[in-house]
Amino acid sequence: MKLVVGTRNAHKIAELTEILTPALGALDLVPAQGEAPEEDATTFYENALIKARAAFADSGHPTIADDSGIEVRALGGQPGVRSARYAASGLDEDNTALLLKNLEGVEDRQAEFVCAAAYVTARGEYVIERRWEGTIAHAPSGGGGFGYDPIFLPEGSAVSAAEMSPAEKNSVSHRGQAFLALAELIATLPTE
């Protein structure tokens, strides 16, 4: 099955390949070619649709996209939909350093990753959202994953998300859960 992927994030493509292949069989995931759309909505749901619609309009091919981020309770849900550009540079190390700085001396470390997974075809639009609960560590650990993984301690886990194997992370993560549910839905739809 060929799917265009409306993302510029290579880490997401790698995770999506691992998540979707068992559910959908041999998969050809093709990164979107057109200009990245502006993600100007206030919800993960709407931003995921913006990305998937843009890649579908550009390619004319069934498209998936995700909008994701981390919501920290003590910060009123920030950085949320702005997670990729929380620090001015948008670099992972700077984003995580800023989050740790803003939580200095804060006892409530509760946080959750959110992923809205979108599928857009000529026949319709589908979005599924899932969350992954945990806490923010006091310092980074682990070299795997991307983004905020080194400072995210998943609920029930002794290690950070960056210390999990890709298979472990995908089996419980926000993206793993959202795209597994989306793949199950796609498998019930007529092929185009």
Annotated catalytic residues are: 67
Buried b (16+ CB within 10 A) or exposed e, 43-57: ebbbbbbbbbbbbbe
Pick 39 or 125: Cβ nearer ligand ITT: 39
**What is the closest distance, in whole angstroms, from the C-beta atom of residue 159 to ligand ITT in the complex?**
14
Q: SS3 for 5?
A: strand
Pick 149 or 191: Cβ nearer ligand ITT: 149
**What is the closest distance, in whole angstroms, from the C-beta atom of residue 5 to ligand ITT in the complex?**
8
Pick 56 or 148: Cβ nearer ligand ITT: 148
**What is the closest distance, in whole angstroms, from the C-beta atom of residue 133 to ligand ITT in the complex?**
13
Helices (H), the chain: 10-24, 44-59, 92-102, 166-172, 174-188
Residues that bind ligand ITT (CB under 6 A): 7-9, 12, 39, 67-70, 83-84, 95, 113, 145-149, 173, 175
Tokens of 120: 């857009």
Residue of this chain nearest to ligand ITT (CB atom):
147
Question: Quick one: which of 176, 142, 147, 148 has its CA closest to 162?
Answer: 142
**Rounded CA separation 99/135 (Å):** 12
Pick 8 or 123: Cβ nearer ligand ITT: 8
**What is the closest distance, in whole angstroms, from the C-beta atom of residue 39 to ligand ITT in the complex?**
6
Tell me the HSE value of 22 on the side-chain side, using a 13 A CA sphere: 10
**Rounded CA separation 163/114 (Å):** 19
